[in-house]
Amino acid sequence: MGNQQLSLSRNGGLIGNLPESNWSSPLRLLDQSLTKFSGILPETIGDLIHLNVLDLSYCKFTDSIPRSLWNLTGITILDLTFNNFTGQVPTLVSNLRKLTRLSFAHNSFSGQFPDVLGNLSKVIEIYLFDNNFSGQLPLSAFNLTQVSHLHFSHNEFVGHLPYQVSGHSSLSILKLSNNFLIGRVPSWLFILPSLQYLDLRNNKFTGPIPNPIFQPLNLSLLDLSSNNLTGIVRSEFFSKFKNLEVMDLSNNSLLSLRTQTNVNSMLPRLKVFGFSSCNITEFPVFLRTSTELMILDLSYNKISV
């Protein structure tokens, strides 16, 4: 059947482009990641009908994705990270129903990302960060109960997060920082049993932080900084976060902190604690049991003796 895999990956001095000629072949893997391949993806890439893996990450490809690529319905991994692709992603992305990993990260895609991710019933990792996507957040992604990684940061997404997600037990990384998301932070985020990284910084979320009262959490990073959160965060809020290493609630000017003096050991793994430019009036005494703490930022508050 001929060669089924072509990998030129990790040849940093390799320069070239993809030919326009007929590509009809049994090729199942094409990996040119971490090379200096450049130019435009030819329309004939759609001839690789047996392709399972297409990895062009960390190259120098430009222009829009050819329409024919969406006909490669056998692809399980599509990784276009760190190129200079432009244009809009069409609804045809939902043709790739066997995808387990989808990455358009760090390109120059623009426009509204089509809300068709709910059709990708096998996808586990979705990376859209560092683009110019705008419009509504593709909310159907949050109904994919098998997803473990959702990374939509550094775009221009707007709108609310859904307030109810059922059956979601796999999500371990959720990063939505540096967008224009609004509304309250939904409480379901704080009861996901596998969630380890929650990054919602630099949005427009309002209201109080939900209290994680349902079950212990595996969070190691919680960043809600630079929003419009309000209310009082009580020290018992932290009692569930036994694995937390980084916590940043800074730059929420109406957010305050209230601590107890009879606090048992909590946050034993905490290394970074940020609560600057908020409305704290007392030093968080519960931090005395955080023996691994390396960075503490309580600047620009109202703490007094």
Mean pLDDT of 3-32: 87
Alpha carbons 105 and 127: distance in angstroms, whole number? 6
Give per-residue pLDDT as tens, 283-305.
Answer: 888 888 889 999 999 999 999 87
Give per-residue pLDDT as tens, 238-279.
Answer: 878 889 999 999 999 999 998 876 656 578 899 999 999 999
Least confident of 103-112, 118-127, 229-238, 247-256: 229-238
pLDDT at 270: 95
pLDDT band at 121 (very low <50, low <70, confident <90, very high): very high
In a domain, 131, yes or no: yes
Mean pLDDT of 73-93: 97
What letter represents residue 21's amino acid? S
- 40 pLDDT above the threshold of 80: yes
Of residues 266, 189, 194, the one with CA closest to residue 224: 189
pLDDT at 216: 61
Alpha carbons 3 and 97: distance in angstroms, whole number? 25
Of residues 2 and 202, more confidently modeled: 202
Mean pLDDT of 197-201: 97
In a domain, 72, yes or no: yes
How far is C-alpha 146 from the geometric centre of its chain's CA atoms? Answer: 15
Number of domains in the chain: 1
Of residues 243, 254, 222, the one with CA closest to residue 290: 243
Mean pLDDT of the chain: 92
pLDDT band at 203 (very low <50, low <70, confident <90, very high): very high
In a domain, 291, yes or no: no
In a domain, 140, yes or no: yes
Q: What is the CATH number of the domain that holds 127?
A: 3.80.10.10
In a domain, 16, yes or no: yes
In a domain, 74, yes or no: yes
Note whether 233 and 249 are within 8 A (CB). yes
pLDDT at 218: 87
The share of the chain scoring above pLDDT 70, in percent, equals: 96
In a domain, 205, yes or no: no
Instruction: Tell me the two tokens of residue 48.
Output: 């690789």
| Residue showing tokens 């690529």 | 69
Q: Is the pTM of this model over 0.75?
A: yes
**In terms of residue numbers, what domain contains 96?**
5-159
In a domain, 273, yes or no: no
